[in-house]
Chains A and B, each alone.
Chain A
Amino acid sequence: MTVRTKRLDAGVAQAMSAVSAAAKKGLGDPALAELVVLRASQLNRCAFCLDMHLAVARELGVGERQLDMLSAWEEAGAVFDERERAALALTEAITVLTDRFVPDDVYDRAAAHFDGPRLAHLVGLIVAINNWNRVMVARRIPPGGYTP
């Protein structure tokens, strides 16, 4: 597996980081942000992103149990609370967009747990990581390049 291209316009990279940073800040829950980012990266199979955000999540103290169960969160019972589950369901709906629209029940569940500004930033965060996933997978950036 070789890198296809490391090239990424500096203005693009900087603006992408700004989108992510603003979304994360507005959500105001760094641990939840990492769960969301990791779940999207699992669905999009972005090795670089998984490697990076597993490191970030562990640094933040996200539990190993949650990290282990993340890809089966729906079946993982009490490992995730209702707010986390609502965020993860929204993450999946927005990430797998080509199969269907974002269902009303998924959206409504998220809206019940997050107020307007937080919900808008949560959507922004899900969009932002999808953006990174695409840019990293398309260029085949390998895992391991990130050090906390």
Chain B
Amino acid sequence: MTTTEESTATTVAYATEPTPRLDWAALAPDVFKAMVRLDAAAGRGLEPALRELVKIRASQINHCAFCLDMHSKDALAAGESVERIVQLSAWEESRHFYTERELAALELTDAVTVLTDGFVPDEVYERAARQFEEAELAQLIAAISVINAWNRFGVTCRRTPGHYQPGQFR
């Protein structure tokens, strides 16, 4: 972008899209099928909007571009607000965009996702336990773990973002 002509051009010269590394779902269809079953089971009983927030937040922390593309589009299609999605990476400073129940879930998401830095702190777990009854909390932990699993597949296999259509895999 050195000349005026270029800067006013209608098509922007974006960088080249990366190439995916591994089509793991095709190479390990048995694992993929079990993951799909796990995904359906985990979080059953939790509000869909809350689940999407958890999925987007974990995908931010794990830097999964494909997952961010997918879950922000799914959230928007389900009626989530742009503001709440945009503010999610700074949720601690934008608490008034979320309910106390959502905040407790987001805090637990951060702790369970960044597991190599420390254990899940008692106060984080207890705040979540005040907002979710025991069976719900078990499902929330499962849901956080499962999006972490998808994030790991997405990043390792370098699945590229930008092509997802809302509801594509349902």
Contact = CB atoms under 8 A, between A and B. Distances in A.
Interface string A4-46: 1101110110111011011101100000000000000001110
Interface stretch (B36-44, B68-76, B96-104): B36-44
Nearest to B142: A12
Contacts of A95: 116
A18 B37 contact: yes
Contacts, number: 154
B160 interface: no
Nearest to B35: A19
A88 interface: no
A55 interface: no
Contacts of B169: none
A94 interface: yes
Contacts of B125: 4, 138
B134 interface: yes
Contacts of A14: 41
Interface in B105-124: 108, 111-117, 119-120
A18 B34 contact: yes
Residue among A26, A97, A107, A126 having the largest count of chain B Cβ atoms under 10 Å:
A97
B124 to A, nearest CB: 10
Interface of B: 21-24, 27-28, 30-31, 33-35, 37-38, 41-42, 44, 61-63, 108, 111-117, 119-120, 125, 129, 134-135, 137-139, 141-142, 144-146, 148-149, 151-153, 155-157
23 contacts: A8-B138, A9-B139, A11-B37, A11-B44, A15-B37, A19-B34, A22-B28, A22-B33, A23-B28, A23-B31, A26-B28, A44-B116, A45-B116, A93-B156, A95-B116, A96-B116, A98-B117, A120-B27, A120-B28, A123-B157, A128-B149, A134-B145, A138-B108
Interface of A: 4-5, 7-9, 11-12, 14-16, 18-19, 21-23, 25-26, 43-45, 90, 93-98, 101-102, 107, 111, 116-117, 119-121, 123-124, 126-128, 130-131, 133-135, 137-140
